[in-house]
Amino acid sequence: MTGALSSSLRRAQSLLAPLAERLEPARRAIDLLERDLLPRTAGGDLYLVAGIVGPNNAGKSALFNALVGRALSPSLPAGGATRRLVGAAHPSLLERLRSEPTLSRFRLRLIGEDSARPEDALRPAADPAELLVAAEPDLPSGLMLIDTPDFDGILGENRLASESLLAVADLVIAVVTRHSYQNREVVVFLQHWLDHGRPWMLVYNEAIDARVARSHAAKLAADVGTAPLASFWAAHSIAVQDGGIPLEPQVLDGDRSGALRDLLFDLGEIAKVKSRAAAAAVARLRDEIQHVAATLVAEGEQARSVLDAAAARAREAGVEIASAAMPGGPFIEAFRTILDRRSNPLSRSWRATVRQIRLRLESLPRLLRGRQPSSEPGAEGADLSAFERDALRAAWPGLWEEMARDLGRETRHRARRFAPPEIARLLDADLADERRAAALARAEAEVSARPAEIEAFRGACERLVDAAIERRGFDLDIQAAADVATIFPLALAAAVIVKTGGLGIDIAVAGGGAASAFLMEKYAHLVGTGIVAEARRSWMDLRGGQIADALVDSVLEQAAPALRLSVERETTLATELRALAGALA
């Protein structure tokens, strides 16, 4: 294995490990990495794991014992004897694996040591990946043979043991008989585990004759969809059942001859199979990684749609709240800036002089009337946040009820119905009735803690003014207005233009309000009243969006950060995983 590959594998491990508890394909990928691929990279592909799998009572243990050369794995005429993974390997291999446990794909319990006996195979192990293993000097040193329980019976532990072998086996020896070769469950199981080009061999046991064995073996191979490295057969034999002779399957294919044992113990053959197995294991990992990425993308989309639903509702409220009041200053200042830029140099220098004469705000008639914020805004005049707080309180019942109904327990919105359980739990907690008052308090704090982005609004106003003057043409009236503007002091940002509903006109509040209202009217008249409406729309858009964000954060206090994390995972982690899967190709 190359250095680039091993660094990709380690990267995959670090990305997938945090997801393993939550996502099944990530757990499988980690299992494959930790038990198979990483030990393989670390130990230079030390040995071949050949696992014998198959349905109940097919003769797996009989075959295993025949290959080992003694009755190591229990085998009963009625079947059902094997309840856990039983293995055999050369003593030198076992010694190496025991001194370097990271190279081992299984937790080993050595027969003869570790207080383990062959009869233990009759009982399931607590850990399905634990291997009861015997040292057998007659086996090749690069081979580990493993017998498994059936994978098609009703016993769940049996299947788990088979699967934990298949997660890491290099070579699969599938044993079937005429009773099972066409079982749907057998075919589907083999299809699944022999995917990705993992090498396998087929043993058709208890055959009537070679011709029937050949046709049934071909049928199974076609159903599984992956050609076996070789197919073997063994005739039905009472002597095998009685333990008189070992089960010795022979090659079925035309161009080879010999026993399964000869092929399996051939060192050249082992090396070839090993390199194919490594490639297949990488392909399986790649597939699991793609799976994880697809799951993250789906989760991210679900999270995004919950956030979108919340944001859409919050935006309605945000725009409504922002429409309650708009700062007048930036609008006036935009006129000043644009007019200054457009007027002639003489007028500009005149204005520079006049600007020295600072008319005091207090000398202007105050225009404070109409709606007032409920709490005293302070001596300087109305401040925006007091109007916003009032509007927020007015909008709150509608906002809360709709959010709770759509995204809370009632799950009216389909985005909520598809939300994963942990997100659903957070939404329920956030939108619980008891949190309503606290959420409002948080929303008020959040809205006032996020000051309006006046600069962005000023920029928008400048563009509006520029376009309006462009349409109208710069004439003497505007020139005069520009001159008048100069005598008003600039500190107008605090002025607030309040929505007056049915009254039809806006009211300016604040110290500089009189000036700003006067100027706004004058300018609006000069370039068309539509410009005020446009400025208001632009304000509602900018500030409404800002308020909406604060509302989402307050209403979905716990869920919003979790949802954002999920969206982020989709964009960054899924992309990285996909790139990694590509690099493993």
Ligand X SMILES: Nc1nc2c(ncn2[C@@H]2O[C@H](COP(=O)(O)OP(=O)(O)OP(=O)(O)O)[C@@H](O)[C@H]2O)c(=O)[nH]1
With CB under 5 to 8 Å by kind, the binding choice for 59 among ligand X, Mg ion, none is ligand X
Residues in 81-120 that interact with ligand X by CB under 6 A? 81-82
Task: Spell out the long-range contacts of 500-509 with Cβ–Cβ below 8 A and sequence spacing 24 or more.
Answer: 500/370, 500/371, 503/370, 506/532, 507/367, 507/369, 507/370, 507/371, 508/328, 508/367, 509/325, 509/367, 509/368, 509/372, 509/381, 509/382
**Shortest separation between residue 238's beta carbon and ligand X, angstroms:** 5
According to CB under 6 A, which one of 121, 194, 230, 247 is a site residue for ligand X? 247
If the CB atoms of residues 154 and 346 are measured against Mg ion, the closer one turns out to be 154
With CB under 5 to 8 Å by kind, the binding choice for 76 among ligand X, Mg ion, none is ligand X
Residues in 180-219 that interact with ligand X by CB under 6 A? 205-206
Task: Spell out the long-range contacts of 580-583 with Cβ–Cβ below 8 A and sequence spacing 24 or more.
Answer: 580/8, 580/11, 580/12, 580/15, 580/289, 581/286, 581/289, 581/290, 581/293, 583/4, 583/8
What φ, ψ does residue 364 adopt, rounded to 5°?
-85, 145
What distance in Å separates the CA atoms of residue 4 and residue 282, rounded to the nearest whole number?
A: 13
* Parallel/antiparallel/unpaired status of strands 85-89 and 107-110: unpaired
With CB under 5 to 8 Å by kind, the binding choice for 128 among ligand X, Mg ion, none is none
Which residues are registered as beta bridge partners of 497?
A: 326, 508
In single-letter form, the type of residue at position 408 comes to G
Q: Are 146 and 85 in contact (CB under 8 A)?
A: yes
Asked if 237 is part of the footprint of ligand X (rule: CB under 6 A), the reply reads yes
What would the two tokens of residue 221 be?
Answer: 């191979």
- Contact letters for ligand X, residues 35-54 (x by CB under 6 A): -------------------x
**Shortest separation between residue 286's beta carbon and ligand X, angstroms:** 32
**Shortest separation between residue 81's beta carbon and Mg ion, angstroms:** 5
Q: Are 132 and 120 in contact (CB under 8 A)?
A: yes
State whether residue 128 is helix, strand or coil: coil
Stretch that binds ligand X, among 18-26, 237-245, 360-368, 570-578 (CB under 6 A): 237-245
In sequence order, the 6+-apart residues with CB closer than 8 A to the CB of 414 are none
What distance in Å separates the CA atoms of residue 557 and residue 544, rounded to the nearest whole number?
A: 19
Q: Are 531 and 463 in contact (CB under 8 A)?
A: no
State whether residue 172 is helix, strand or coil: strand
**Shortest separation between residue 310's beta carbon and ligand X, angstroms:** 54
Q: How many C-beta neighbours within 10 Å does residue 380 have? A: 12
**Shortest separation between residue 251's beta carbon and Mg ion, angstroms:** 23
If the CB atoms of residues 8 and 56 are measured against Mg ion, the closer one turns out to be 56
According to CB under 6 A, which one of 43, 69, 79, 459 is a site residue for ligand X? 79
Q: Are 22 and 1 in contact (CB under 8 A)?
A: no
Stretch that binds Mg ion, among 45-53, 75-83, 373-381, 564-572 (CB under 5 A): 75-83
**Shortest separation between residue 157's beta carbon and Mg ion, angstroms:** 14
| The 3-state secondary structure of 93-120, one letter per residue | HHHHHHHCHHHCCCEEEEECCCCECHHH
Asked if 238 is part of the footprint of ligand X (rule: CB under 6 A), the reply reads yes
Stretch that binds Mg ion, among 74-82, 111-119, 211-219, 400-408 (CB under 5 A): 74-82
With CB under 5 to 8 Å by kind, the binding choice for 286 among Mg ion, ligand X, none is none
Task: State the Cα torsion 486-487-493-495 to the nearest 10°.
Answer: -130
Asked if 150 is part of the footprint of ligand X (rule: CB under 6 A), the reply reads yes
Which residues are registered as beta bridge partners of 232?
A: 203, 251
If the CB atoms of residues 82 and 162 are measured against Mg ion, the closer one turns out to be 82
According to CB under 5 A, which one of 41, 56, 82, 164 is a site residue for Mg ion? 82
**Shortest separation between residue 82's beta carbon and ligand X, angstroms:** 3
If the CB atoms of residues 52 and 303 are measured against Mg ion, the closer one turns out to be 52
According to CB under 6 A, which one of 8, 41, 61, 180 is a site residue for ligand X? 61
Asked if 250 is part of the footprint of Mg ion (rule: CB under 5 A), the reply reads no
Asked if 61 is part of the footprint of Mg ion (rule: CB under 5 A), the reply reads yes
If the CB atoms of residues 162 and 538 are measured against ligand X, the closer one turns out to be 162
In single-letter form, the type of residue at position 387 comes to F
Asked if 244 is part of the footprint of ligand X (rule: CB under 6 A), the reply reads no
CA-based diameter of the chain, in Å? 121
What distance in Å separates the CA atoms of residue 183 and residue 524, rounded to the nearest whole number?
A: 84
**Shortest separation between residue 109's beta carbon and ligand X, angstroms:** 19
Stretch that binds ligand X, among 125-133, 238-246, 286-294, 299-307 (CB under 6 A): 238-246
**Shortest separation between residue 54's beta carbon and ligand X, angstroms:** 6
Asked if 295 is part of the footprint of ligand X (rule: CB under 6 A), the reply reads no
With CB under 5 to 8 Å by kind, the binding choice for 39 among ligand X, Mg ion, none is none
| Residue ranges in contact with Mg ion by CB under 5 A | 60-61, 82
Q: Which residues bind ligand X (CB under 6 A)?
A: 54, 56-62, 75-77, 79-82, 149-150, 205-206, 234, 236-238, 240-241, 247
